[in-house]
Amino acid sequence: MKVFLWGAGAFGKRFLKHIPNDLVIGFIDNDESKHGTLIEGKKVISFQEYLTNHTNEYIVITHLMSEEAVYLLQQNNITRYFFCNDCPAEWIEESLREEYEEYLKKTLASNTSYSILGLNFFSIVTAERLHKENNAQIKIYYESENKRLVEDLSDEFAYMKFVPAENMNNDIELIYNATKTEIEKNNIVNINNCYKNIPEYRNEKLKELKDKHKGKRMFIIGLGPSLNTEDLEVLRMHNEISISMNAIYRIFENTEWRPDYYVISDTNFILEKFDYYTKVDVDNFIIGDTCGNYIANKLENELGDRYYKLHEYRDWSRDKLPDYSENLVNGAVACGSVTYTCIQLATYLGAKEIFLLGMDNSVKNNKGDKYAHFFKEDKLESKFFGSYVYNAYERAKIYALEKGIKIYNASRGGELESFERIKFEDLFD
């Protein structure tokens, strides 16, 4: 199988690192300035050129805002496409995960036949690997409604048998993190969502934070344009426990407030202000290890006891609710918004009430241009938040309900309606 990667940005470049290089023909991108350029020897073309010369080739969509790409593909009757989001989180990280590759080697025993649940680029690449190494015959149970894709793959791979998931037998030996089919069988090995099974991902130091604020209320501070220093000063004067994220440092020069827990999961923010983080007066930094081992280790050396490395498993599923991590020692589940990681941290710390502030989740609409953040530099896109983000919020609501935890949205305005609204000023009567 040969593929084009749709999206010549950061995710596409990362994805290229993790898959066999000879599988990738080139990139598709909407940015005309990139057309004709090379990325790691792979040419960037327009979608129109793909339609003219390459419609027999498969596509992997390698950017988060996949809705636009899917619309264009469907409008042009193209069915040969996959999503990078359906591949292991390790495949869209900054650096290679040797521990994950070792886990795969140990897990993929030398059998002559396998059954895999889930039709996606990952399952096809895995099937090709198993056939090459073990001359294995593969059965793939699919949930896809894309019948033409199934037909094309059946014609191309004689050693793969494609079976509807509803006809699944008891012979599953491998499992993709299935989007719709929920199954519980003893003979399943998860080779996609397997972060809990890899000891190298664990951080025992995070046990220090378990139930540290049990029964308390906490505030999670977002970066939306509604955020203001007056509300932050109220939190400071009332000694409220707060968690914030990424670029919140941009408001520090205007307020004495500081978060008790600073969560950083975006490499861009780390690189932007690396030296600054080591000097800012915050007691606890929770740093996602998706930033790469070199950066993570350097931060650990600089921050000392204030540093907690957190494994983040990226789950940007469109058709199902993501996992929710109760034990941050194993890691947290990331879903396209650091807010979800912050909610998992708050419940791990023992919060009984969680209030969101500055969580606007706004999009560009008929009201005119809006900004994405309080520092008013990033203009909003028309589709700023994907369905995976709202799936994550829905999972958080379910988890909170099960555990008797309340989550409220205390933001001033915005378009986040996933959580019950409450007025910020009413919390300090």
Each residue's pLDDT tens digit, 94-134? 666 788 888 888 877 767 778 888 888 998 998 998 888 88
Whole-number pLDDT of residue 19: 87
The residue length of the chain stands at 429
Whole-number pLDDT of residue 365: 46
Q: What angle do CA 122, 126, 127 make, to 5 degrees?
A: 115
Q: How far apart are CA 274 and CA 415, in angstroms?
A: 32
Please list, in sequence order, all residues whose beta carbon lies within 8 angstroms of the beta carbon of residue 18, skipping any fewer than 6 positions away: 90, 91, 92, 93, 96
Whole-number pLDDT of residue 366: 42
> Tens place of pLDDT for every residue, the chain, 429 residues?
899 999 998 889 989 988 888 999 999 999 999 999 999 999 999 999 999 999 999 999 998 667 788 889 999 999 999 998 888 888 877 666 788 888 888 877 767 778 888 888 998 998 998 888 888 888 888 877 788 999 999 999 999 999 988 887 766 555 555 445 555 555 667 777 788 888 888 999 999 999 999 999 999 999 988 899 999 999 999 999 999 998 898 899 999 999 999 998 876 666 666 777 777 889 999 988 766 666 667 777 788 889 898 988 887 766 778 889 999 999 999 887 899 999 999 999 999 999 999 998 875 544 454 667 777 666 555 444 567 788 899 999 999 999 999 999 999 988 889 999 999 999 997
Q: How far apart are CA 252 and CA 161, in angstroms?
A: 58
Each residue's pLDDT tens digit, 7-19? 998 889 989 988 8
3-state secondary structure of 304: helix
> In order of start, what are the domains of the chain with their CATH numbers?
1-92 (3.40.50.20), 97-198 (3.40.50), 202-428 (3.90.1480)
Q: Report the predicted TM-score, pTM, of the whole model to 2 decimal places.
A: 0.84
Cβ atoms within 10 Å, residue 421: 11
Residue 313 has phi, psi (to 5 degrees) of -95, 115
Query: What tokens does 243 get?
Result: 């968690």
Q: How far apart are CA 354 and CA 240, in angstroms?
A: 11
DSSP 261: E
CB 355 within 8 A of CB 218: yes
292-314 burial by CB neighbour count: b if 16+ within 10 A, else e? eeebbeebbeebeebbbbbbbbb
Q: Where are the beta strands (DSSP E) in 265-329?
A: 284-288, 307-310, 312-314
